[in-house]
Amino acid sequence: MNTKINFETVKIDALLQLAIQEDIFTGDITTENLIPGNLVVEGIFTAKESGIVAGLSVAEYFFSKLDKNIFFKRWVNDGGFVHKGEPIAAIHGSAKVLLSGERIALNFLQRLSGIATLTAQFVERIKPLKTLLTDTRKTIPGWRYLEKYAVVVGGGVNHRMGLYDQVLIKDNHLDIIKNKLFHDVSPHDSIIESAVSVLKQKIKKGVLIEVETRTLEEVADALKSGVDIVLFDNMDIQRLKDAVTLVKGWKYGEGIRQPLTEASGNITMENIHLVAQTGVDRISVGAITHSAKALDISLEISR
């Protein structure tokens, strides 16, 4: 895969500034006292293992913030597959800038490439099925935009960005409501129906509503309430099949669309194909961000 994905640099300015402050801070005392200010060098980013590259846009933008005279040349774009030993990009400019910025650039490039690579491996397991792989909110604080960017680079799809852009009624919400800490419920409806009804009256039109379900009874309640997405949480394969069948066979009222279905919980590389075969529309996997191993990439600098 070699794809061009929209990347908004303004969304990472604060993160880059934090990285510069914690690593370079008042200055790189080793480089500043050893390296001549007028020395120009070239560096080569090389893959030390095979995988999907992500984060070149970040590395290039980061170095441009340190020095506008840096020249950056790519041999692959974000989303491109590289083999072990293959050069990825070249950077040309001040030796002081390259040495001071090397670790920060590699930290971004290695982590994002690791996420893209793991995402691509999960996606490969569910081909040629039409099921989509989505991420979660299990990201490093401050890194969410970049980590979700890397997921898309690897062939995945972004779930909600945060708590603000999509409703997701989780088991904890429902458990609190059941404990009578929620007073706007109708005695004639289920807890899920009541919660969805209240939300539809209060949130902006067009905001998606998803509800997490643990039983077929909860799935039926979600369908009665008219949600946009039904999340099947930690269901075994047989129950997933039954849940998908229930959603597809439901008698929907006029103007009500069949909701999307999503499986989540204990999804691994070994079982994701079986989960996809149940017919779910998408599978969310937290591991693609919280457990991705950094892809080994080096930056070798020479004159």
Kindly indicate the confidence band of residue 1, based on its pLDDT and cuts at 50, 70 and 90.
very low
Inform me whether the pLDDT recorded for 112 exceeds 60: yes
Residues 168-182, mean pLDDT to the nearest whole number:
82
**pLDDT tens track for 34-88:** 999 999 999 999 999 999 999 999 999 999 999 999 999 999 999 999 999 999 9
Residues 206-212, mean pLDDT to the nearest whole number:
97
Select from 176, 178, 193, 244 the least CA-distant residue to 216: 244
Contact 281, 262 (CB under 8 A): yes
Own/partner pairs for 248-257, CB < 8 Å, 24+ apart? Answer: 248/279, 250/223, 252/223, 256/226
Inform me whether the pLDDT recorded for 3 exceeds 80: no
Domains along the chain? 9-122+292-302 (3.90.1170.20), 125-290 (3.20.20.70)
**pLDDT tens track for 6-45:** 789 999 999 999 999 999 999 999 999 999 999 999 999 9
